[in-house]
Chains A and B, each alone.
Chain A
Amino acid sequence: MGNLRTGHLVEGAIWLSLCLFLYAYSFEFDQGIEIYKFGATAWPRTIILLMAIAAIGQLYHHWKYGDEISSNIINAANDDGSEEAAHEAHHESLRWYLSTFALLVIPFAYMRIPDWIAGWLEADGSTLHVLRMVIAVILIGLFITQMKRNMVGAILALPLFFAVMLEDIGFYSLAPFFIVGVMFLFGETRPKPMAAIMGLIYGLLLLLFVKILFVGLPIGNIRPFYDFGSWVVTVLQ
C-alpha cells in the first residue's frame, strides 16, 4: 500500500468513476461530422483519457510520497490554509461529509419535490405555488435543525438554498434573510449590528443596482413576494 490512505483511494476512485461515466455518456453524442473526421467525441475523449492518466499518476504520487508536495510546483493552492483548516476542524471524517451532504440535498429537494408532488396531484399553477411555500417552510425548518450540528456545511448549503428560491421568492424579499443568515453562520449573534448591517448592505445594493444601474433582479413569481418585489422596483425606478 506504500503511503496510500483510504482518502487517497477514495479520491482516485472518484476520478476514475467520473472518467468512466463521462466516457459512457460520450456515446450519446457519438456522431460523425462530414467535414471533420474526428467527430464530436474525439476532443472530450482525449480529455477523459488524460484525466484517467492523471488520476493514476496522482495515485502513484500518493503511493510513493503520501501527501507531500511536488518539488517542481509553484506552490499556491495549499498556501491558503484550506487543507489545514479542514484538518484542524476534523472536517475530514465520513460523518462530517455525510452531514454536509444531507444539508446540500435540501436545496435540491426544493428544486424537485414540489414539481413531483404537483405532477402526482395534477395540480394547477396556484396550487403549485402554495405547495412550494409549504415545502419551503418544511425544508427551512429542517435546515435550521441540521445547521447547528454542522455550521460549515450550513454555510455551503445556504447560498445554494438562496439561489434555488430566487426564482419563486425574488431577490428583494429573500436578500435580507440571506444577509442575516450568512452573518449568523459566520458567528455574529448581536441583533443590533446584524439589523444595521443588513439594512446597509440591502440599501446599498438596491441603490447601486436598481436605482443607478437599472439592473433587473428577480422579483419572484409567488404572491405576496412578487408584489413586494414589483413595489420596490416601482418605488426606486
Chain B
Amino acid sequence: MEVFNNFLTGTITLFSDPVGILIFFGGVIGGMLFGAIPGVSMLTLAAILLPFTAHLSPEHGIMLFSVIYCTGVYGGAITAILFNIPGAPENAPTAFDGYPMTQKGQAGKAVGAAVMCSAIGGVVSCIIMMIATAPIADWAISAFGPPEIFALVFFGLAVASSVGAKTFWKGWLSILIGLMVAVVGLDPVGGIERYDFEMPYMLAGIHFIPTILGFFAVSEIFVQAEKKAIGSYKAPKMGVEFPTLKELLAHKVAVVRSIIIGFFCGILPGIGATLAAFMGYNEAVRWSKTPEEFGKGKLEGVISSETANNAATGAAMIPLLALGLPGGALTAMMVGVFQMHDMEPGPLVFMNSADLVWVVFAAMFFANVSIIFVGYLETKTIINLLRIPFQFLAPMILLLATVGAYAVRGLTIDVVVMFLAGIIGFFLRRSGYSVAGIVLGLILGKIGEQTFAQAMQMLHFEWSGYFDRPIALGLLIAGFLTLGGSIYGSFFKKPKSPSADPAS
C-alpha cells in the first residue's frame, strides 16, 4: 500500500507540473526518434542534452534521462528491424531476426511485436522495481561482489561468442577485439598507460559511442554501398501488418522468460540491458523446438530480445539509485546529471530525495505505457523512411553519426575513430565476424577487468576463493561449460553448408 501511495504521489507530482509534462513527452518522443533514426541513438541525444540538464531541476533532469532510457531502448529496435542498424548494443539481437523479417516484407509485424513486448517488459520491470527495490538491493549488496560480477561478465561473453559470427572462433575473435580495444588507455588499478602509442587522445581510452556508431551505422552504409555497386541492393519491403493478439499470446512463455532474464541482468551493476537482450535471445534459441529458424526472421527472436532489454531498464535503476553504480552508458550519464546538481546517487537519495525517486519511477512507468500508443503512431511514420532512396538516406545517416560522435566530447578525432571503426567493421563483416560481439567485448571489457582485479584483491589472489562463493562459482562453471560445448561443436559437429542456408 505504501508503494502504491508513493507511486500516486509521484504521478501527481509529475503530471501537475506543466514543465514536467513537457519534459516527459519531449523525452518520450526524443528517445524514440533518436533511437529510431539510423546512425544516431538515445546515447547521442543524452550526450547532447547532458550539459543542458544543469538548467533543469534534479527531478526533471533525472526524469528526462530515465524516460529517454525507456523509450530509446525501444526506438533502437526500429532501426535494428528496418535497417539492420541496432540503435544501441541492447538492440543487436533484435536485428538477428527483425531484419530478415523486414527483408521478407514483415517489417510491420516485427516492429509491432517490438512495441508490445518493449512495453510489457518495461511496465512489468517498473512494477517490480517499485515493489522490490529495497529487498533486491539488499540482496544484491550482500550476494553480488566483484567475483560474482566478473563471473557474470565471463558467462555473458561465453554466451555471446556463439551469436552473430560465422564460426565460434570468429565469434570469440570478435569479442576479443572488443576486449583489446577496451584495454587502451589507463589501467584500472595502477593508472598505467597502455597501448596509447604516445598519443594524448588514447590516454582516455577509445570512447564507445564513436566505436558503436562506426561498427554499426557506418559499416552498414558501406555494406549497402557495395551491394549498390553490384546492383544487388534491394530496398526493404514494407508492411504495417502488426502481430495479432493470438500470435503474441503464443509467445507468452518467451515473454515471461525474457522478463525474468532481463530483470536479473538489469539489476546487476555494470551489466545492463545488453547482456539481457543477448541472454534473452540465446535462451529463446535454446528452449525452442525449431532453433534452426532463428536468425532467418523468427518473430520469437524479436520478442525475446525486446522484452528482455526493456525489462532491464527498470531493474538498471536499482543499482544506480540504491548503490550509485551505473548499469550502462545511459545510467552512467545519469550519474553525471546527479553530480551536476551536487548530488550523489546512492542510499542517501532514498532518504533525502524520496520525491525525486518516486517521480522518476512514475515517469518510467508511464514512459513504458506510452510506448504502446506513441510507438504505434511513430512507427508508421518511421516505416516511411524505407521509401527514401538509399543514396539520399546515406549522407544523412553519415552526417548524423558525425554529429553524434563529435557531440560527445567535441573532438574531431572521435569522428575519425568512428569512420575507421566503420571501415574495420566493413571488412570484418565481409569475413564473417560479428560487430555486435566487438561492441559487447568493448563495453564489458572495462567492467570485466576492473571487477577481476577487485575480486582477486578481495580473494588475496587465491583462485580457490571462488569455491567459497557459490554464485560466482556457478556462473564460472556455466561459462566454461558453454565455451566447452562450443569448442566441442566446432571440432566435432559437421558444419552447415552455406548453400543449404536460405539466409545465405
Interface membership of B48, Cβ < 8 A: yes
Q: Is the CB of A167 within 8 A of B412?
A: yes
Q: List 28 A-B contacts (CB under 8 A).
A: A31-B190, A34-B190, A36-B190, A36-B457, A38-B453, A47-B183, A50-B172, A50-B176, A51-B180, A54-B172, A58-B169, A69-B495, A71-B494, A74-B285, A76-B96, A77-B166, A79-B100, A85-B227, A89-B229, A89-B230, A91-B226, A159-B422, A160-B416, A175-B399, A178-B399, A179-B395, A182-B395, A186-B394
Q: Is the CB of A47 within 8 A of B180?
A: yes
Chain B residues within 8 Å of A, Cβ to Cβ: 48-49, 84, 95-96, 99-100, 162-173, 176-177, 179-180, 183, 187, 189-190, 192-195, 218, 221-223, 225-230, 232, 281-282, 285, 294-296, 389-392, 394-396, 398-400, 402-403, 406-407, 410, 412, 415-416, 418-420, 422-423, 426, 429-436, 449, 452-453, 456-457, 461, 485-487, 489-491, 493-498, 501, 503-504
Once A44-B194, A85-B232, A156-B426 are accepted as A-B contacts, the answer to whether A38 and B399 lie under 8 Å apart by CB is no
Contact of A61 among B167, B415, B504 (CB under 8 A): B167
- Minimum CB–CB distance from B439 to chain A (whole Å) comes to 13
- Minimum CB–CB distance from B404 to chain A (whole Å) comes to 10
For the complex, give the distance between the alpha carbons of A96 and B398 in Å.
24
Would you list which residues of chain A between 180 and 223 have a CB under 8 Å from chain B?
182-183, 185-188, 193, 197-198, 201, 204-205, 209, 213, 215-218
Interface membership of A40, Cβ < 8 A: yes
Interface membership of A106, Cβ < 8 A: no
Once A85-B227, A159-B422, A188-B391 are accepted as A-B contacts, the answer to whether A40 and B194 lie under 8 Å apart by CB is yes
Q: Is the CB of A72 within 8 A of B485?
A: yes
Contact of A43 among B48, B430, B452, B461 (CB under 8 A): B452
- Name which residue of chain B comes closest to A188, CB basis: B391
Interface membership of A231, Cβ < 8 A: no
By secondary structure, the B interface counts as: helix
Q: Is the CB of B395 within 8 A of A178?
A: yes
Interface membership of A29, Cβ < 8 A: yes
For the complex, give the distance between the alpha carbons of A81 and B422 in Å.
17
List, in ascending order, chain B residues with CB within 8 A of A65's CB: 495
Q: Is the CB of B498 within 8 A of A69?
A: yes
Q: Is the CB of B398 within 8 A of A182?
A: yes
- Minimum CB–CB distance from B453 to chain A (whole Å) comes to 6
- Name which residue of chain B comes closest to A182, CB basis: B395
- Minimum CB–CB distance from B109 to chain A (whole Å) comes to 18
Contact of B189 among A33, A151, A160 (CB under 8 A): A33
Q: Is the CB of B222 within 8 A of A156?
A: yes
Contact of B230 among A83, A85, A166 (CB under 8 A): A85
List, in ascending order, chain B residues with CB within 8 A of A58's CB: 167, 169-170, 173
Q: Is the CB of B176 within 8 A of A54?
A: yes
Interface membership of A78, Cβ < 8 A: yes
Of the listed residues B84, B166, B434, B498, the one surrounded by the most CB atoms of chain A closer than 10 A to its CB is B166
Interface membership of A122, Cβ < 8 A: no
- Minimum CB–CB distance from A193 to chain B (whole Å) comes to 8
- Minimum CB–CB distance from B286 to chain A (whole Å) comes to 10
Interface membership of A94, Cβ < 8 A: no
List, in ascending order, chain B residues with CB within 8 A of A29's CB: 187, 192-195
Q: Is the CB of A72 within 8 A of B493?
A: yes
For the complex, give the distance between the alpha carbons of A115 and B84 in Å.
40
For the complex, give the distance between the alpha carbons of A212 and B204 in Å.
30
Q: Is the CB of A74 within 8 A of B495?
A: no
Contact of B183 among A43, A67, A156 (CB under 8 A): A43
- Minimum CB–CB distance from A22 to chain B (whole Å) comes to 7
Contact of B490 among A36, A44, A70, A164 (CB under 8 A): A70
- Minimum CB–CB distance from A167 to chain B (whole Å) comes to 5
List, in ascending order, chain A residues with CB within 8 A of B48's CB: 209, 213, 215
Of the listed residues A38, A58, A186, the one surrounded by the most CB atoms of chain B closer than 10 A to its CB is A186
For the complex, give the distance between the alpha carbons of A113 and B84 in Å.
38
Interface membership of A80, Cβ < 8 A: yes
For the complex, give the distance between the alpha carbons of A182 and B393 in Å.
10
Would you list which residues of chain A between 75 and 126 have a CB under 8 Å from chain B?
75-86, 88-89, 91, 104
For the complex, give the distance between the alpha carbons of A43 and B402 in Å.
32
Contact of A44 among B183, B395, B493, B501 (CB under 8 A): B183
For the complex, give the distance between the alpha carbons of A138 and B38 in Å.
34
Q: Is the CB of A187 within 8 A of B164?
A: no
Q: Is the CB of B392 within 8 A of A54?
A: no
Contact of A79 among B172, B221, B281, B295 (CB under 8 A): B295
Q: Is the CB of A89 within 8 A of B226?
A: yes
List, in ascending order, chain A residues with CB within 8 A of B456's CB: 36, 38
